[in-house]
Structure 1
Amino acid sequence: MSPSKTLRAAAAALFLVGIAGLAACSDAPGAETAEVEAGEYERGPHEGRMLRDGDFALEVTIFEEGPEPLYRLYAYLKDKPVDPRQVQATIALTRLGPKVDRFAFTAEEDYLTSPMVVAEPHSFDVSVAATHAGKRHAWTYPSYEGRTIITPDAARVGGVTTERAGSAYMGESLPLQGRIEITPEGQSEVHARYPGRVMALSVQLGDRVRRGQVLARVESSDSLQTYSITAPISGVIMAKNTNVGAITGNGEPMLVIGDPNQVHAEFFLYPRDAERVRVGQRVEVVSLAGDHRINAVIEAILPTADLTSQTLIAHVHLPSQNGAWRPGLGVRGTVQVATSEVPLAVRTQAIQPFRDFQVVYAKVGNTYEVRMLELGRRTPEWTEVLGGLEPGTEYVVEGAFLIRADIEKSGASHDH
């Protein structure tokens, strides 16, 4: 098991132990999962919930074989089917919030049906009323799924945090590959002013030098006088093309000095991406090892393409970080090429799997319940919500997987 999974498992165990301990120390339960288990009620011929009142009974089913789940009710008198045209029925679903969905039914074939969809989650307090032969019957019962009650102390033990769902700015990002290079301002070539023989050389490859430091002495071929050559900048000897006794003045630099604290990232832009990247856009720069990262800005894009790779080069300035960015090493980048506001979004880390859905856990008081989401665009930080969640809903961000674990440990079912 990876270290991250081990830590998450330990946190989950601590969370559940905390719930149990708090429940034992209080008259009010620390956490109770409100989930009606399969088999806890009488089932009818259509595998629905049988509601009885004397000789009259009503079987409540949710028909889920069509495009949307719909209620179907079957009436019985002394366990014999009743013509649905002889029955009037209504259902009210009180959801967490609270919000009430009301259903009115009409006869169809051998059952009563309502055109109103039973929206997810199928978690509510149900109130059923039916009238047959002038007599009114009424029932109430809970039908919960994906719901749990957790005390504030238990939530705090589990590290559960929440936010309100609302609008967010979402950026469209583009991955980049590049390398660290010393900036042109951070490099300098050292040349002899007059051709001649190198009489002394006081530095080696890799040595650090300071500006004005004497690096070599050269005897002029014309005057036979010896003169000193000093460092034009501070930095490190990056290249050494001469030795004592060598003749200078052939156009090649004697030494090259580079300042490793003056670096930038050079990112390669392929033709399909070049039109979307602009000077001033923000880039997250990450070392290949992942141990260094920084947010920076594109400061320049070279106008000509590399003939070999057919790429443009984008320069991103990197501030000095005590040698964190070493010239020549590769880096990854993520550039934000577009940003737009969406009316409703949630933190991406809050999204959890539940049955065949992607969900967040809404919080109402001490009760947590799934909200099945219709999702749009996604970034590492935000995910757009197209449906399934009301703006302003308080939902779990940190610790969402612990809420899921608490619900799953109860054997949560999708049952009616």
Structure 2
Amino acid sequence: MAMSKQQRAAVVAILVAGLLGGAAILFSGKGGSAAGEAGHEHAGHGDEDAHGKADEKAASHGSASAPAASPQAEGKPHLIALTPAQIGQAGIGLATAGPAPLRGSVDFPGEIRFNDDRTAHVVPRVAGVAQSVPAKLGEQVGKGQVLAVLASTALAEQRSEQLAAQKREALARATYAREKTLWQEKISAEQDYQQARTALEEAQIAVQNARQKLTAIGATENAGQGKGGGLNQFALRAPFAGIIVEKHLSLGEAVKEDASVFTISDLSSVWAEFVVSARDLDQVRVGESVTVRSSASDTQAEGKVSYVGALLGEQTRTAKARVTLANPGMAWRPGLFVTVSVLGAPAQVPVTVAADAVQQVDGQSVVFVAVPGGFAVQPVKTGRTGGKLVEITEGLQQGARYAAANSFILKSELGKSSAGHEH
């Protein structure tokens, strides 16, 4: 049967549509590799933004364990951006690293102790019973001030002995005067005159002996200690001005002559004691300059080594040393722990910075160096320290400008920047 032209055209159209549909099914069955390559070629010819979006979409449909994109450089910032106005407002002072004479030091742990040369353990020196104890613990007393009044039978006997010696001396003096007159008038023999003179001299010696016994125990020669007093009353007095740091006597308590009833110390002068090992003895000598710093406050004082022990301890193998410190404001209290820095001989150091300029960042010493636009963190290695300066052995050159005053502000800003970067 012959087909018309219209029928043949319709058949051709159907065949072409079928071939195109089969081709589409064939390509989709092979997967996304061909489509991806075609897309990549298409993006390479001028549509990079579309390629980026396609990658993001593909990543969202991909494996959940695939890592997200990260910045190229992670870590703490090493530059702190500040304008000159901000630097001035923060009070950050600049200085130049350079050479300076530096005295190295060796630190020793120590303790403030009483100055034994100005500390007295007061003993009554006569046995007795406390009749009154006006002195109080912690009280500031003056030299000669009455600490306690004791009733002592031993003192009564000594005063009685002195009174008897004085009476005998008076009688011997009168006898001597009479015999001398009789001998001069040739009424009595010279022998009687010589015996009277000898008796007077012996009486004088007895009086002097009794007086010295009373002086040795600190008792007065006159009987009694004020109105109503008796021969047995003894006033225990402060040997010098100081503070009562120990008290072991109460009203009515019986004490022996050698009992330590008060401890008085003049705290206007104290000792800073420390121990020195055998290897450091060459650096610690009498007269060496030292700096004593309190472990509990910012208090410090300058002094000199006043004593170094000649012998090493049998067990510790260390020697004791001390520094005598003036203590006018009572800032140095016995029992306070201190650090004693013994200064060595001065030496010229090529690069030094202010001690306040060195900060610790992540366990490393750093200095903030001035750069255009702010400050850079410069790791350094430190050497000797002396007073307000620190030696820089590595990491900084002479002439470098750095943050000397208030550098801790830069450290704080560095911490803030690090925290913001991590977030």
The TM-score normalised by the length of structure 2 is 0.51
Amino acid at match of 1:301: V
The one of 80, 86, 97 equivalent to 1:165 is: 97
- Unaligned runs of at least 5 residues, structure 2: 1-76, 161-230, 419-423
In the alignment of these two chains, the number of paired residues is 265
Match of 1:377 in 2: 383
Name whichever of 256-265 and 348-357 sits farther off. Answer: 348-357
1:341 CA drift (Å) = 1.6
The one of 276, 287, 298 equivalent to 1:280 is: 287
Higher helix share: 2
Alpha-carbon distance between aligned partners in 2 of 1:160 and 1:377, rounded to the nearest angstrom: 24
Match of 1:217 in 2: 150
Alpha-carbon distance between aligned partners in 2 of 1:386 and 1:180, rounded to the nearest angstrom: 35
Amino acid at match of 2:89: V
Match of 2:334 in 1: 327
Match of 2:346 in 1: 339
1:146 CA drift (Å) = 6.3
Alpha-carbon distance between aligned partners in 2 of 1:354 and 1:287, rounded to the nearest angstrom: 26
Cα 1:370–1:153 shift into 2, 3 Å: closer
- Unaligned runs of at least 5 residues, structure 1: 1-144, 411-416
Q: Residues 383-416 of structure 1: CA distance to partner in whole angstroms, max 9, x if unpaired?
A: 4345665433333223556667589959xxxxxx
Q: Residues 190-228 of structure 1: CA distance to partner in whole angstroms, max 9, x if unpaired?
A: 3445x3423524245615222111222343152362343
Amino acid at match of 2:295: L
Alpha-carbon distance between aligned partners in 1 of 2:380 and 2:335, rounded to the nearest angstrom: 45
Amino acid at match of 2:276: L
Cα 1:387–1:371 shift into 2, 3 Å: farther
CA contact (8 A) 1:181 1:266 kept: yes
Q: Larger Rg: 1 or 2?
A: 2
Alpha-carbon distance between aligned partners in 2 of 1:266 and 1:239, rounded to the nearest angstrom: 21
CA contact (8 A) 1:180 1:328 kept: yes
Higher strand share: 1
CA contact (8 A) 1:248 1:254 kept: no
Cα 1:201–1:234 shift into 2, 3 Å: farther
Alpha-carbon distance between aligned partners in 1 of 2:307 and 2:363, rounded to the nearest angstrom: 47
Q: Residues 14-61 of structure 1: CA distance to partner in whole angstroms, max 9, x if unpaired?
A: xxxxxxxxxxxxxxxxxxxxxxxxxxxxxxxxxxxxxxxxxxxxxxxx
Match of 1:342, SS state, is: strand
Note if 1:256 corresponds to 2:263. yes
CA contact (8 A) 2:133 2:249 kept: no
Match of 1:202 in 2: 133
CA contact (8 A) 2:105 2:384 kept: no
Amino acid at match of 1:344: V
Amino acid at match of 1:325: W
Alpha-carbon distance between aligned partners in 1 of 2:365 and 2:137, rounded to the nearest angstrom: 56
CA contact (8 A) 1:147 1:407 kept: no
1:155 CA drift (Å) = 1.5
Note if 1:180 corresponds to 2:112. yes
**Structure showing greater relative contact order (alpha-carbon pairs closer than 8 Å, 6 or more residues apart):** 2
Match of 2:334, SS state, is: coil
Give runs of aligned pairs for residues 224-263 of structure 1, distance below 5 A: 225-226=231-232, 227-241=234-248, 244=252, 246=254, 248-249=256-257, 251-263=258-270
1:165 CA drift (Å) = 1.8
Alpha-carbon distance between aligned partners in 1 of 2:303 and 2:363, rounded to the nearest angstrom: 40
Alpha-carbon distance between aligned partners in 1 of 2:362 and 2:315, rounded to the nearest angstrom: 51
Give runs of aligned pairs for residues 128-147 of structure 1, distance below 5 A: none
Match of 2:273 in 1: 266
Match of 2:206 in 1: none
Q: Residues 228-281 of structure 1: CA distance to partner in whole angstroms, max 9, x if unpaired?
A: 3321112233344555462543x3444332223332211122223233212233
Alpha-carbon distance between aligned partners in 2 of 1:277 and 1:258, rounded to the nearest angstrom: 28
CA contact (8 A) 2:108 2:276 kept: yes
CA contact (8 A) 1:238 1:257 kept: yes
1:156 CA drift (Å) = 0.4
Match of 1:264, SS state, is: strand
Amino acid at match of 1:190: V
Alpha-carbon distance between aligned partners in 2 of 1:254 and 1:390, rounded to the nearest angstrom: 65
Match of 1:124 in 2: none
CA contact (8 A) 2:307 2:321 kept: yes
1:342 CA drift (Å) = 0.7
Alpha-carbon distance between aligned partners in 2 of 1:230 and 1:184, rounded to the nearest angstrom: 19
CA contact (8 A) 2:109 2:338 kept: yes
Alpha-carbon distance between aligned partners in 1 of 2:347 and 2:333, rounded to the nearest angstrom: 35
CA contact (8 A) 1:373 1:386 kept: no
Amino acid at match of 1:379: T
Cα 1:311–1:355 shift into 2, 3 Å: closer
Alpha-carbon distance between aligned partners in 2 of 1:222 and 1:160, rounded to the nearest angstrom: 79
The one of 299, 303, 307 equivalent to 1:296 is: 303
1:355 CA drift (Å) = 12
Alpha-carbon distance between aligned partners in 1 of 2:247 and 2:363, rounded to the nearest angstrom: 65
The one of 156, 166, 177 equivalent to 2:88 is: 156
Match of 1:394 in 2: 401
The TM-score normalised by the length of structure 1 is 0.52
Alpha-carbon distance between aligned partners in 2 of 1:240 and 1:311, rounded to the nearest angstrom: 34
Alpha-carbon distance between aligned partners in 2 of 1:353 and 1:255, rounded to the nearest angstrom: 50
